[in-house]
Amino acid sequence: MSEATIWPASAAEREWAARLMAAYDPWITLGRGIDHCRAACFHPEYELFVAGVEASPQGFILLHPRGAMSSPYIAAIAVAPEFQGCGLGGRLLRFAEDHYRGRARHMFLCVSSFNHDARRLYEWLGYDVVGELKDYVIEGASEVLMHKWLR
């Protein structure tokens, strides 16, 4: 497989990202339908980057430059099911960190308590738990706030 590149999303790719989000967990479990996902992907303050090969999207990362305590916040990250397990999620996260390194000292994200695979990835990449918001989006699940120093 060719090495994936990462680029700023076009309007069509923002729509693709919204549909990817709405079709899979954790967004299904969180009750986030296409309208919510589309609003996030097209939000004017958010930066959306796509990863893929030869302009064919395979995954994306949605960033809010000042989303958590005036620090960059990873609002969403997803890899299409057929490309999961290839390291693309890690590449997108490292891209986001490099994108803000030098302009910010901290990076934040939230992960749903039931999203164990994502949490393992974040911890492996050096993110630490700094808080838990119980029953924040849905009853019976928490959103776990994670942080990484951008050195």
Assign residue 74 a region (left: φ > 0; alpha: ψ between -120 and 50; beta: otherwise). Answer: beta
Edge-to-edge order in the sheet of strand 128-134: 5-8, 47-53, 56-68, 71-79, 106-112, 142-149, 128-134
Band of residue 151 on the pLDDT scale cut at 50, 70, 90: confident
For the chain, give the percent of residues with pLDDT over 70.
99
51: pLDDT strictly greater than 90: yes
Helix, strand or coil, per DSSP, at residue 31:
coil
pLDDT at 2: 66
State pLDDT tens for residues 58-90. Answer: 999 999 999 999 999 999 999 999 999 999 999
For the segment 5-28, the average pLDDT, to the nearest whole number, is 97
d(CA 138, CA 39): 19
pTM of the predicted structure, to 2 decimals: 0.94
Helix, strand or coil, per DSSP, at residue 103:
coil
For the segment 7-19, the average pLDDT, to the nearest whole number, is 98
For the segment 52-58, the average pLDDT, to the nearest whole number, is 92
Class of domain 5-149: alpha beta
1: pLDDT strictly greater than 80: no
d(CA 15, CA 7): 15
Band of residue 3 on the pLDDT scale cut at 50, 70, 90: confident
53 strand-pairing partners: 56
Q: Where are the alpha helices (DSSP H) in the chain?
A: 11-23, 34-41, 88-100, 116-124
37, 43, 49, 52: CA torsion to nearest 10: 40
pLDDT at 21: 97
